[in-house]
Structures are given as C-alpha cells and as structure tokens.
Amino acid sequence: MIVCGTGHRPDKLGGYGEKANQRLVDLAEFWLKGVRPATVISGMALGWDQALAQAALNLDIPYYAYIPFNGQESKWPVNSQDVYRFLLNKADHIVECSEPGYAVWKMQHRNECMVKDADVVLALWNGSSGGTANCVDYAKKVKKQVVNLWPVYQMIATVNSEAITNG
C-alpha cells in the first residue's frame, strides 16, 4: 500500500514549536505503525506533510518527496528551510511536479500527482476550505480512500490541554 498525506500548516495545528510538531510526528507514527505501508508520499509542506515524512523516516518506511516546484521553501524561515532540506535529502525519491517558480495552482497539481500515485490519502483536515480540502475533494473524486485523523488529533489536543491545566 502507498499512502500520501495532506494536511494543514502549523498555524492550524498548534503552531510552529517543537512540542506541536512532535505531536504531529507521534500521530503519524501511530497510524503508520498500524498500517505499515510500503511507501509514504509527502508533499513536503510545513506542518502535517513534513511530520508524515519525519514519521516515515523514524520508522524506516521509504518515503517519496513530491514537491510542487524546486525552491518551494525559499521564502520560509531559515530553520524551516533546514528541516525541509534535511527531509528532502533523506527521501528515497524526489518528484518535482512542476517547473520552478511559485504559482498557487502548482500546489494542487502536486496534490493530484500524489493522489494518483497513492492507494490511500492520510489527511489531517479540520473541514475548512483551502488546499487540504481541495486535495481531499480530488481524492474522493478519483475514488481514493481518505482517512482523516482530525478527530484523533482533536482528542489528543484536548487531553494535552487538560493535562497542562490540571498539572
């Protein structure tokens, strides 16, 4: 089985801190351990995409980096660029879905390439409109299975919040 991921950026997932990112990686690892796909496809965007790539790397599951275009990270903070390049260098295969140069449509084109090459789409989607919704809609249109971990993520966030409050 080949799994691709689509999900939100850090601003919708608890922020850009290490704890927030580790929760994403832990969630991805939990799901991947149970399924053990042959390959994981990551779109390499900040947030869920990179957490999924990191989880695959941690579990020794081959992962492919499907990037919308070479240089997608060029406007990101330096630390984010470093993480991106680290994960890109560890990928088993890199697919550049479009020619270099930013354009919004290239993100959706990358999503469609990932979905076409996957059996299952692993989403972390809160139901809002945007790129993740577009990817989920496309996956459903082409009759790919979509597994949305948002309810599990919400439960984990609630438990963590209560633990902090009740100290």
DSSP 41-93: EE---TTHHHHHHHHHHHTT--EEEEESSTTTTTTS-HHHHHHHHHHHHH-SE
Per-residue pLDDT, 11: 87
Mind listing the pLDDT tens digit for each residue in 109-133?
999 999 999 999 999 999 999 999 9
Predicted confidence band at 163 (pLDDT cuts at 50, 70, 90)?
very low
Residue 125 φ then ψ, to 5° = -130, 125
Sign of the dihedral defined by the CA atoms of residues 143, 60, 32, 161, in that order: negative
Distances (CA, A) of 137 to 35, 140, 141, 152: 23, 5, 6, 20
